[in-house]
Amino acid sequence: MTNGDPPSPLRRGLRTDRLEALSDGVFAIAITLLVLAIAVPTKAGNHLLRSVAHLWPSYLAYAVSFSTIGASWLGHNVITEYLDRADAVFVRLNLLLLLLIAFLPFPTRLFADYIGENQPERVAATIYGVSLLLASTLLWVLWRYAVRAGLVRPDLADEEVQLLTQRLTPGLGGYVILIVVGLFVPIVAVVGYLAIALYYVIPFRRFGRIHLFRPRRRNQRPS
Amino acid sequence: MTNGDPPSPLRRGLRTDRLEALSDGVFAIAITLLVLAIAVPTKAGNHLLRSVAHLWPSYLAYAVSFSTIGASWLGHNVITEYLDRADAVFVRLNLLLLLLIAFLPFPTRLFADYIGENQPERVAATIYGVSLLLASTLLWVLWRYAVRAGLVRPDLADEEVQLLTQRLTPGLGGYVILIVVGLFVPIVAVVGYLAIALYYVIPFRRFGRIHLFRPRRRNQRPS
Amino acid sequence: MTNGDPPSPLRRGLRTDRLEALSDGVFAIAITLLVLAIAVPTKAGNHLLRSVAHLWPSYLAYAVSFSTIGASWLGHNVITEYLDRADAVFVRLNLLLLLLIAFLPFPTRLFADYIGENQPERVAATIYGVSLLLASTLLWVLWRYAVRAGLVRPDLADEEVQLLTQRLTPGLGGYVILIVVGLFVPIVAVVGYLAIALYYVIPFRRFGRIHLFRPRRRNQRPS
Amino acid sequence: MTNGDPPSPLRRGLRTDRLEALSDGVFAIAITLLVLAIAVPTKAGNHLLRSVAHLWPSYLAYAVSFSTIGASWLGHNVITEYLDRADAVFVRLNLLLLLLIAFLPFPTRLFADYIGENQPERVAATIYGVSLLLASTLLWVLWRYAVRAGLVRPDLADEEVQLLTQRLTPGLGGYVILIVVGLFVPIVAVVGYLAIALYYVIPFRRFGRIHLFRPRRRNQRPS
């Protein structure tokens, strides 16, 4: 909708620009609210350094959730980039994805607060993993729906569609495995969640090499 | 304002793009702040799973408020989509709508905290319902004003205007009925609020079928 | 920068679109954070209705700060609307304005917490008033600077510039008077702050009548 | 991507507009969340004025962090302004920068809470300084990467690139020196952090004089 041609009066669907604006807002706020999960130690006195060091689960949870939301945003970005138009189902699925993204600060705080306590940390890690799995699943559903409903750009090659689908799929299996692992060794599961998020971030680089690094003619006027 | 044609120097009114930017910001923040209403249980120890399960009123309130704000955003989206231009009264009504949307996290927390206590939960559910009713009413007022003041796009068919008006109206009656119901069975009222929000979300799909699914010529260049 | 013409390579100044994006973000967040100042009563039991009613200073403070930030946003909107370009001083003044806007939730909470206590409410009302005065003054400075530095659109009539300047000026005097009044009758001062904010909102309507209601040719293509 | 020409189908990389939207969102939210670090005094009674005055470390920390995030936003703004396109590494580095920016409210609260206590204030000031150093370093890395990877606009003169590089470099040394100073006199270090932030803000003005103040032909149509 930001192109030079006026929007066709016939095409009065929900504009993707406001969809993106709300989505970017929720992603940005959820990712920034995570810092509130790191509780400033009170009355630490001369032991402040030790108190701050003891907060490592909070930093780990911050890194995991930040990476996951960041990776989801990257994925969301690629999806809307390939989107030709949105329809009403897509908009609703997108709201559901945002509901899950906006929820993530809660299991993040839960995990940060209860790691180190034997029984509760398993519960917290499992709730955390299920939340991450749900958010990632919905991102995958959003993409699948966009492809099936024919919302993606017509000039997009099938192999590109398949490539993105393949990238989004294995992470889901990873979460399922790690949730089971987390029942026994919670900390390993959480480090695994971080690894998945970084994996999500990195493939987009390789994925990007195909398109992003394509040399652009320098004699074009800058856009 | 993102089209190819420069803004007419004669038309220096408040641009709808910043109106939408502020609105999207407030919607996104209010919807994301809701998660702060879910209090992480402290010192739950080995009963963490039970403690987390006991938070179900918080999750319900999160779902209700998220759906309601999401539905309001969808409605706001359709309104601004159909908007030809904004005038000063519209901008003020919009600010009033945002005031009510931004207020919703308060009754949400109130309900989440007091459900289960016999007398207070009626008070909390009523305050919650009145807040939702006010926000929805203002969305309806915003649309009615836009139509009456001739702010909607001239190429918009009367039946489309009436269709949106009809969609926005019955929800208001629903809230009034549920507020009365909530005086006796609060939990039923709140589930009803969720149903209204989902009803608001779903009709836009059917509504959308008319316009959103209209096949777009594939030989157009992608926008 | 959202027009059809490419940005001139010679004109590489800070784009006003990101200036507006950051500003809209801060306005939206500050206005939405205000709701956190309304503390949910704890253990109110059967007295919940009374407890919620006793929170009226919080609602008043919410209304005052929301209106003031809303009015500042409207003013900021008109200023950037009339802006031809930004320079580095303008950007810094804008950051200073945002610093004051983002600070407002603090005096808002201070007032909401201390009204009703004889001595402290005078202190809280004064701090509140000074904060509002500073924010409004900076908005006025921003506009004056834009005019003096020749940043406003060249096609803007002098009378329009003067009209906006006149609108922004009397509010400052109002704040000074009310701050003094607040030393004796704090609640009157705060109601006065609300009146000023509404006054700021309303004149823009009258101001707007000149431009906003100017009939737009209907045979133009919708933008 | 907001120009009049349609995006080339060949160039499907991550659009810089959503990169900027997420970044502006995170900057705006982090900068606005800082106010939550200023704790409203409870039960101050008739000593409210003194209590509020005693919060001066909070105000100082608010000013330092606000200025630093504001300066980072200005720098980020200049970088993306000079950006011809983004690649996947740039996007990831940008996410890392946002992670550090979003983290700043934590050391800000830490410093505000512990200044005045002999031993802890050194710890808090050091953690604060290291956080600021990391954020600033990443901004510098982001710029260096953009230059090395050839992402900057081809029409950008080498001297302009060098000028910005030079501006971004000395601040890093300043932080290192001040972190060491802070081990002995924490308050001096923090005032120094404020000075660096203001220095970052001010040079962009001088830097800007070259481009921002370049007179624009008045007979151009307003953009």
State mean pLDDT over B159-174: 78
Can you tell me the ipTM of this complex? 0.78
pLDDT value at position C15? 63
Q: Which amino acid, residue B20?
A: E
- Chain D residue numbers with beta carbons less than 8 Å from the beta carbon of C18 are 20, 24, 77, 80
User: Could you read off the pLDDT of D1-18 as tens digits, one per residue?
Assistant: 333 333 333 334 456 778
Q: Give the model's confidence band at D170: pLDDT under 50 very low, under 70 low, under 90 confident, else very high.
A: low
Range in A59-68, A102-111, A195-204, B156-165 with the lowest mean pLDDT = A195-204
CB-facing half-sphere around the CA of D213: CA atoms within 13 A = 11
Q: Which amino acid, residue A154?
A: P
Structure tokens at D81: 């302004």
What would the 3-class secondary structure string for D107-128 be?
HHHHHHHHCCCHHHHHHHHHHH
Range in A204-218, C13-27, D66-80, D89-103 with the lowest mean pLDDT = A204-218
Other chains touching D, judged by 3 or more CB pairs under 8 Å:
A, B, C
With a cut of 70, which residues of chain C have pLDDT below it? 1-15, 170, 202-223
CA B182 to chain centre: 21
* % pLDDT > 70, chain D: 82
State mean pLDDT over A58-73: 91
Other chains touching A, judged by 3 or more CB pairs under 8 Å:
B, C, D
- Put simply, the answer to whether B218 touches A33 (Cβ < 8 Å) is no
Range in A147-156, B156-165, D45-54, D206-215 with the lowest mean pLDDT = D206-215
Average pLDDT value for chain D:
79
| pLDDT > 80? residue B13 | no
- Put simply, the answer to whether C29 touches D29 (Cβ < 8 Å) is yes
* Minimum distance, in Å, between the CA of residue D210 and any CA atom of chain C: 9
d(CA A210, CA D12): 10
pLDDT value at position A112? 87
Which of B5, B10, B29, B36 would you mutate first to test chain D, the one with the most D CBs within 10 A? Answer: B29
Q: Give the model's confidence band at A15: pLDDT under 50 very low, under 70 low, under 90 confident, else very high.
A: low
pLDDT value at position C213? 32
pLDDT value at position A21? 85
pLDDT value at position D215? 35
Contact at 8 Å (CB) between D200 and D171?
A: yes
| Residue in D4, D6, D29 nearest the CB of B221 | D6
* Minimum distance, in Å, between the CA of residue C93 and any CA atom of chain D: 11
Which of A29, A32, A218 would you mutate first to test chain C, the one with the most C CBs within 10 A? Answer: A29
Residue of A nearest to C221 (CA): A6
* Minimum distance, in Å, between the CA of residue D184 and any CA atom of chain B: 38
* Minimum distance, in Å, between the CA of residue D182 and any CA atom of chain A: 15
Q: Is the dihedral of CA A104, A110, A111, A112 positive or negative?
A: positive
Give the long-range contacts of residues C117-125, CB within 8 A, separation 24 or more.
Answer: C117/D45, C119/D45, C119/D46, C119/D48, C120/D44, C120/D45, C120/D46, C120/D48, C121/C186, C121/C187, C122/C182, C122/C183, C122/C184, C122/C186, C123/D48, C123/D49, C123/D52, C124/C186, C124/D48, C125/C182, C125/C186, C125/C187, C125/C189, C125/C190
Which of A20, A29, A33 would you mutate first to test chain B, the one with the most B CBs within 10 A? Answer: A29
pLDDT value at position B1? 34
User: Could you read off the pLDDT of D62-81 as tens digits, one per residue?
Assistant: 999 999 999 888 888 888 88
Phi-psi region at C116: left, alpha or beta (left = phi > 0; alpha = psi -120 to 50)? left
| pLDDT > 90? residue D197 | no
- Put simply, the answer to whether C103 touches D31 (Cβ < 8 Å) is no
pLDDT value at position D27? 92
| Residue in C2, C48, C208 nearest the CB of B120 | C48
Q: Give the model's confidence band at D177: pLDDT under 50 very low, under 70 low, under 90 confident, else very high.
A: very high
pLDDT value at position B170? 66
Residue of A nearest to B203 (CA): A88
State mean pLDDT over D150-156: 81
Q: Give the model's confidence band at A27: pLDDT under 50 very low, under 70 low, under 90 confident, else very high.
A: very high
Structure tokens at B2: 């993102």
What pTM value is reported for the model?
0.82
User: Could you read off the pLDDT of B31-89 as tens digits, one per residue?
Assistant: 988 988 888 888 777 788 888 888 888 899 999 999 999 988 888 888 888 888 888 78
* Minimum distance, in Å, between the CA of residue C72 and any CA atom of chain D: 16
pLDDT value at position A217? 33
Number of residue pairs across B and C with CB atoms under 8 Å?
A: 134
| pLDDT > 70? residue A49 | yes
Kindly list the residues of chain D whose beta carbon comes within 8 Å of any beta carbon in chain B.
2, 4, 6, 9, 29, 221-223
| Residue in D33, D36, D114 nearest the CB of A48 | D114
